[in-house]
Amino acid sequence: MAAPMGPDDIRQVLDAALDLPEADGVEVLMMHEWGGLTRFANSSIHQSTWREDTGLRVRVVKENRLGIAASNDFTKDGAARAAASALELASVAVPDPQFPGLAPPAEAPAAPDSFDEATANTSPGERAEAVASLVGEVGQGFRAAGAFETTAAEIALANTEGQFCYAPTTQATITTVVSGGDGGAGTAEEAHRRSADVDAVAVGRHAFQKARDSQRPQDLEPGRYEVVLEPLAVSTLVAFLSYMALGGKAIEEGRSALTGKAGEIVCASAVSIVDDASARGALGLPFDFEGTPRQRVAMIDHGVFRSGVYDRRSARMAGRESTGHALPPPNPDGPFPLNLTLEGGSASLDEMIAATERGLLVSRFHYSNVVHPIETVLTGMTRDGTWLIENGEITRPVKNLRFTQSILGALSDVELVGRDPVLVSEFFFSAALVPALKIAAFNFSGRSDH
Amino acid sequence: VTIDVARQAVEAARTSGASYADARVVSEEGESLTVRNQEMEGVDRSLSQGLGIRVLVDGYWGFAATARTEDAEIAATAALAVDIAKAASRLPMDPVRLAETEPVTATWETHLQEDPFLVDLDEKVALLMEASRLAQSVKGVAFAESMIDLYRRRTHFASSDGSAIQQTIVHSGGGIEVTAIGDGEMQRRSFPNSFRGHIRAAGYEHIRSLGLTQEAERIAGEAVALLRAPECPSDVTTLVLDSSQVILQMHESIGHPVELDRVLGMEEAYAGTSFLTPDDRGKLRYGSDKITVVADATLPGGLGTFGYDDEGVAAQRSVLIQDGIFQNFLSGRDTAPVIGQPSTGSMRADGWQSLPLIRMTNINLEPGDGTLAEIIGDTEDGLYLNTNQSWSIDDKRVNFQFGCEIAWRIEKGRLTQMYRNPNYTGITTEFWGSCDAVGGSEEWTVYGTPNCGKGQPGQVARVGHAAAPARFRNVQVGVR
């Protein structure tokens, strides 16, 4: 029942927010999102939902004072009310001496394949059928849990500088954890622009195979081990590195491990990390939430730190141009790379395992959190399949372990990079394209009972 | 009028084929102000309103939500919820049975003295600017932030059982966070609590009572001092936690494991499950005999305080752990019958667009005896940790690790050396089993956890906790 409104109809409403003569400048961000999620557990569909919402976020500037108001009343009157509210807030704010002005007109690159009508119109029955095909791959004595989500969105931004940009987008994501038997679990997931590209059968089969292979996990002493991290585990490290260290504001304020380190070696030479919303398979938007076209940013190039990502305010602090990485206002954490790629190498997963003398194969991490931001130390648990590797072969599944490890330390010890990067869906229009990694040493500081 | 929209949605769902339906019309307002080094980091207001319709068809759930409430949209959304429920029957499942509840017609609202949305913006900004200025006046401070967050949610609930409930819930919070940077270190101190301060179900009187300007310089001084403090040593020792850290310890290692949906596997793919089983009730030793934990949605001021949950079940107080023995789970109408119990009234959604899930109400550690000073005075050797900084726990809630902002050595009953980057780790039942002192009611504080994530699509709930400081023996600290 939901459908794209299109740029012309949207612009009429956004213009109602821009029509505020008392303001020095107005910016309005609009997000129209709709979609369904079919959630399953114990191999049954237990929570299925659908939602549609249209949100406006108006930023008003008056004498370098900023006020922001958000509303989901997507009407001309609603937009005008939000703008008036933002103006009232701006009137009590103190001037921001670092305010760089609103984004100037600039054309964002077209993303012709970003919206798939079939994905936007996926029915509850189609999602249920895909889930059933996934569950059908799960053997006797095992159970599947997970979710299949199909979403669509229109993002538009207009400001009084004359910038207007619009992008429709779709995404289909399926995730599962299969567990059962005598203890053990496996996980798999896929994320694509188009629901037709989702192979639910393959996801179910892969997760079941891992669950079957991780039965009766045994205790293992914590300590430093070689590791082979599968892409899901690598995505956790890369996402937290972005959060702690790669935003321009954190870098400029001295809160990042990479402050003052441009041009220095910070990782192994096998590691290159870029942010590129237009990369093949990426799920990114062509512009950021200030209306600046997104640039490809080579952040770590063969182990050498080159640059963080910037929005307009942090770019002004750094004396450079925005790279198009603003989050929606207010964004106290500053800019953020939403479309990371850790560039692939040449090793297969089997080759990484064969190159491991005594180490661990890790499927994914769970509930990770920052221990020390400037040292990029993270803690978290392994989950859904961890195995001991001895003399180049997987010998047995092990119970979950806690790691406490510096991310840059781990990336400095990378020995092999996988040749098959996988797109891992993260939050808020973001996804990371990451391969598996073999790392010479990784610190496991504790263990659990399962 | 709004309750009529909810009733209309229930009727539309019944017409479309639902055997049971409920609907919530929710309007949520927010106001958030942040000052950082005498600059406005953010000043924003938000308004989100819409309708969520939940239906049962042949024992399967369906849910659909829309921001628009025209007649045709209500009918179409109700029909879509029914279609979603029908599609769920593609895979077999034991049909959902709902625990009995009495139909209710009621109005409820948070008790508050001063509507926080009516207080002048100028006054709020002036308070934050002064707190930030005082903190920044301490030499060595890099960033001095002060913040206020206000929420008001109006919910109109109707169900095909005949309930019609209108609630208005107000949450107000504020705090300061001070950061010092130097020599490869970054240290932060927060007051009264981390992650945007101390938030309660209250009006602006709560903000006035926080003492932000009175404590700003002390907190700033600690942040700067931490830069020069030694690292917390690695040791197995006695640990005393302040109330705010006890509540997060309780949140992660008691509140979540006792959620019955996790126990039944319904959250397995995302947040995880639980080490508990239904057979553990009345048998499992969860902690020492000092540990009695209740879920109390009637506690004044708690973020989990309400009149009725989002299924229309009345707020209640239930014992989760009595003298260390596990007693009961948090449940909702669809999970409680699985273990033969009535609902504990714990179902909440984070807005109109979300399906109600089992959420913590106010999960409280009942007070023991004595003050924090007396507990420290009674400790020969150990560490006192204050204010949460980081948290992590496994998918069954067994192995945890927490970091705090600051620690002091306890020597012969006195606080001595300050340490930076303190953390500790343990196993849930061993840790609570090692508790040998819980502070008394004079130290018992109601805090909130405003960022509790759960569910798919993800929901963020504001939940409440109350606790006094507590002491634990033989804990691994200083994890490297």
- The per-residue pLDDT for range B80-115, each reduced to its tens digit, is 999 999 999 999 999 999 999 999 999 999 999 999
Q: Is B275 on the interface with A (CB under 8 A)?
A: yes
Question: Of chain B residues 203-232, which have a CB less than 8 A from chain A?
Answer: none
Q: Please compute the mean of the pLDDT values over residues A145-161 and round it to a whole number.
A: 98
The reported pLDDT for the residue numbered A281 is 74
User: Residue B69 in contact with residue B87, Cβ under 8 Å?
Assistant: no
Q: Are strands A358-372 and B198-200 parallel, antiparallel or unpaired?
A: unpaired
Q: Is A428 on the interface with B (CB under 8 A)?
A: no
Six-digit token pair at A415? 């020995």
User: Residue A88 in contact with residue A25, Cβ under 8 Å?
Assistant: no
Q: What are phi and psi of A251, to 5 degrees?
A: -65, -45
SS3 content of chain B, % helix, strand, coil (to 5): 25, 40, 35
Buried (b) or exposed (e) across A384-406, using 16+ Cβ within 10 A?
bbbbbbeeeeeeebbbbbbbbbb
Q: Are strands A401-406 and A142-159 parallel, antiparallel or unpaired?
A: unpaired
Q: Please compute the mean of the pLDDT values over residues A137-142 and round it to a whole number.
A: 97
* Interface contact flag, A123 B87, Cβ < 8 Å: yes
Q: What are phi and psi of B15, to 5 degrees?
A: -60, -35
pLDDT classification of A429: cutoffs 50, 70, 90: low
Whether residue A336 is predicted with pLDDT greater than 70 in this model: the reply is yes
Q: Please compute the mean of the pLDDT values over residues B365-389 and round it to a whole number.
A: 98
- pLDDT averaged over every residue in chain A: 95
Name which of B96, B4, B6 is nearest B53 in CA terms: B6
Q: How far is CA B344 from CA A54, A394, B96, B201, in A?
A: 35, 46, 17, 20
> How many C-beta atoms lie closer than 10 Å to residue A184's C-beta?
23
**Chain A residues within an 8 Å CB radius of B88:** 38, 44-46, 48, 124, 128
Q: What's the burial of B251, exposed, middle or buried (CB within 10 Å: 0-12/13-18/19+)?
A: buried
Q: Is B423 on the interface with A (CB under 8 A)?
A: yes
Better-scored residue on pLDDT, A278 or A334: A334
Q: Go through chain B and tell me how many residues it has.
A: 480
What number is the ipTM of this complex? 0.96
Q: Report the residue from B46, B355, B394 with minimal CB separation from A366.
A: B394
pTM here is 0.97
Q: Report the residue from B84, B269, B458 with minimal CB separation from A177.
A: B269
Buried (b) or exposed (e) across B80-106, using 16+ Cβ within 10 A?
bbbbbbbbbbbbebeebebbebeebee
The reported pLDDT for the residue numbered A45 is 98
The reported pLDDT for the residue numbered A284 is 83
**A52-105 pLDDT, tens per residue?**
999 999 999 999 999 999 999 999 999 999 999 999 999 999 898 889 999 999
The reported pLDDT for the residue numbered B40 is 87
Whether residue A47 is predicted with pLDDT greater than 80 in this model: the reply is yes
Buried (b) or exposed (e) across B215-244, using 16+ Cβ within 10 A?
bbbebbbbbbbbbebeebeeeebbbbbbbb
Q: Is B61 on the interface with A (CB under 8 A)?
A: yes
* Interface contact flag, B396 A52, Cβ < 8 Å: no
d(CA B11, CA A368): 45
Whether residue B234 is predicted with pLDDT greater than 70 in this model: the reply is yes
Whether residue A266 is predicted with pLDDT greater than 90 in this model: the reply is yes
Establish whether the linkage from the previous residue to B192 is cis, with ω within 30° of 0: yes
Q: Please compute the mean of the pLDDT values over residues B62-78 and round it to a whole number.
A: 97
Q: How far is CA B165 from CA B4, B160, B308, in A?
A: 11, 12, 8
**B266-283 pLDDT, tens per residue?**
999 999 999 999 999 999
Chain A / chain B CB contacts < 8 angstroms:
267
User: Comparing A224-228, B3-7, B183-187, B315-319, which segment has the lowest mean pLDDT?
Assistant: B183-187
Question: Helix, strand or coil for residue B304?
Answer: coil
Six-digit token pair at A425? 């869906």
pLDDT classification of A278: cutoffs 50, 70, 90: confident
Six-digit token pair at B320? 């989760």
pLDDT classification of B391: cutoffs 50, 70, 90: very high
In Å, the largest CA–CA distance within chain A is 73
Six-digit token pair at B209? 């009572």
Question: Of chain B residues 18-47, which have a CB less than 8 A from chain A?
Answer: 32, 34-36, 38-47
